[in-house]
Amino acid sequence: MAELTFKSAPIHTNGELPAVGSHAPDFTLVDGSLSDKTLADFAGKTVILTVNPSYDTGVCMATARGFNARAKDVDAVVLMVSADLPFAQKRFCEAEGLDHVVALSCFRSTFAKDYGLEMVDGPLRGLTARAVIVIGDDGKVRHSQLVPEIVQEPDYEVALAAAQ
């Protein structure tokens, strides 16, 4: 169980992020056409997972915009993951012109639990904590960051450097 804060109040996740150097757990997420996407769909590519509670919040929106702006400069696929329904993710991406990221929903998967990101207490319990995980083209975790304060953005530069 990991601890982070939400507006300075402690909250916990169901586990720990995958360790750097370990094989990334497989996942099944849902895209805008309601099709399943797995880690195997991105085999041979470096993957940046930017995980957020909901793109209906200002910090999550800023994080999506931040990765979209930087994604064109890296040789990696950026997957923005949240529990939002794919329809809401699609509307958000279209409204914001986010075309360098792929929105995927964990609404019908075990992704949050498998990656140790399900918040188990606090007002956002049941949603994913904010995190960034970089998975190399060999399927191994190169970088992982559980953002310590849920209302803060992640460290973009460290994540992008790990993707190189």
3-state secondary structure of 96: helix
Rounded to whole angstroms, the Cα distance separating 99 from 77 reads: 11
Q: Tell me, yes or no, if 106 is annotated catalytic.
A: no
Rounded to whole angstroms, the Cα distance separating 100 from 73 reads: 10
Residue among 4, 17, 60, 101 flagged as catalytic:
60
Q: Which of these, 90, 100, 106, 99, lies nearest to 37 by C-alpha position?
A: 106
Rounded to whole angstroms, the Cα distance separating 107 from 100 reads: 22
Tell me which residues are annotated as active site: 60
